Amino acid sequence: MDTTIQEKVNAGFPRLNEPAPAFEAETTHGTLRLADFQGSWLILFSHPADFTPVCTTEFIAFAELAPEFKKRGVELCGLSIDSTFSHIAWARNIEEHFGVKIPFPIIADLNKEVATLYGMVMPGESKTETSRCVFVIDHKGILRAMIYYPLTTGRNMQEILRLIDALQASDKHGIATPADWKPGEKVIVPPPKTTEEAEERMKAGYETPDWYFSKKSL
């Protein structure tokens, strides 16, 4: 039996480190499924509506950073509760007026199916528009990070890129990253879990002001 939208809602909103909700959707690049992105990381992001100014600045910023995301193995996919015709017209308008081509697909979520699955509509803000949500999904389809911004505030794309760098550095090196970390800066060595490890940590050669806090260069 097919899963209904209501069953998907009842299953709850997406949670970190669990499989991202599967979807199949109409997009400006044809029908796409979450599974089509398997093997790449994916930034699935929603915007409130086509032909709105803040969203236009965000699309330009995402398009300009698309090559940087690509270098990191990350695909982009937008979404709003608008039709493919609207998305196509808006992307053409952005290219005509701002000289920026939108290289990534945009989901036309007219029935709010994907928005509902991911909890992108915040009725306190708008019942008819998706908020500015960002879902970072890794190459295995696991949801790794979520960011929610309100309608009135455009997102910081450099921060989204920094988040990808931090997640990929954590995966590769088994470390964590401190506040405001950028590639090239020292990282956090996970704290010891036993008394014995805590004693050893003090002699491990890291920058260790105290047993629970160690930094090292990659």
Q: Which residues bind ligand BEZ (CB under 6 A)?
A: 48-49, 52-55, 151-152
Task: Find the shortest distance in angstroms from Cβ 125 to ligand BEZ.
Answer: 8
Q: Which is nearer to ligand BEZ, 60 or 145 (CB)?
A: 60
* Terminal-to-terminal C-alpha distance of the chain: 50
In 3-state terms the chain splits into helix, strand, coil percentages (rounded to 5) of 35, 25, 40
Q: Which is nearer to ligand BEZ, 110 or 151 (CB)?
A: 151
Task: Find the shortest distance in angstroms from Cβ 112 to ligand BEZ.
Answer: 16
Whole-angstrom distance, CA of residue 128 vs CA of residue 110: 10
Dihedral of alpha carbons 15, 16, 18, 22, sign: positive
Strands 41-46 and 143-149: unpaired
Q: Which is nearer to ligand BEZ, 27 or 46 (CB)?
A: 46
Are 27 and 148 a contacting pair, CB within 8 Å?
no
β-pair partners for 176: 188
Task: Find the shortest distance in angstroms from Cβ 32 to ligand BEZ.
Answer: 24
Task: Find the shortest distance in angstroms from Cβ 173 to ligand BEZ.
Answer: 38
Q: What is the CA radius of gyration of the chain?
A: 20
Q: Which is nearer to ligand BEZ, 10 or 152 (CB)?
A: 152
Annotated active-site residue 55? The verdict is: yes
Q: Which of 55, 121, 157, 175 is catalytic?
A: 55
DSSP reduced 3-state for 133: strand
Q: Which positions are annotated as active-site residues? A: 55
